[in-house]
Amino acid sequence: MKAKYIIGILIIVGFVVFGAISLKKSLTPYVGFAEAKKTQETVQIIGKVVEGETYYDTLSQKLVFSLTDKNSPDQIKVIYNGVKPGNFDQATEIVAIGNYQSGVFHSDQLLVKCPSKYQGLEKK
């Protein structure tokens, strides 16, 4: 009877450890451009798209653009392989998730932050 309890407890502990490790791997922290350039881990960066520096190839589905940090004049070049988000051109900010390699931030996922439709409405 004791052996069954011990085995059950070990199985439960194993699942808890596995869950904790999986959760830690799935978390991607927000970092600044300077820190993103120093690490090879997957991180999230946020910034505004630099006007006139966006290129999208519809055949290869490759989006190349530059982001500027909202807290400093720093810029970072981003390459995203995938379909260009429909609201990319209206975005106020972009969150790019990926890692920095060979002088470029390679993004696996983009989150587009658009202006609120209620922004700028006057109260009557």
What pLDDT digit, counting tens, does each position of 7-47 carry?
889 999 999 998 888 877 777 788 889 888 998 888 999 99
pLDDT (0 to 100) of residue 123: 57
Domain-located, residue 97: yes
Domain-located, residue 64: yes
Query: Is the full-model pTM beyond 0.75?
Result: no
pLDDT score of 124 more than 60? no
Domain-located, residue 124: no
- Interval 67-87: pLDDT, tens: 998 878 889 999 999 999 988
Domain-located, residue 46: yes
Domain-located, residue 98: yes
Domain-located, residue 2: no
Domain count, the chain: 1
Q: How far is CA 63 from CA 23, 30, 75, in A?
A: 30, 21, 16
Q: In the structure encoding, which two tokens stand for residue 20, read together?
A: 């904790």
Q: Cα–Cα distance between 47 and 51 in angstroms, integer?
A: 12
Domain-located, residue 69: yes
Q: Cα–Cα distance between 8 and 13 in angstroms, integer?
A: 9
CATH number, domain of 45, equals 2.40.50.140
pLDDT (0 to 100) of residue 119: 58
Range of the domain at 56: 29-113
Among 31, 44, 57, 29, CA closest to 98: 44
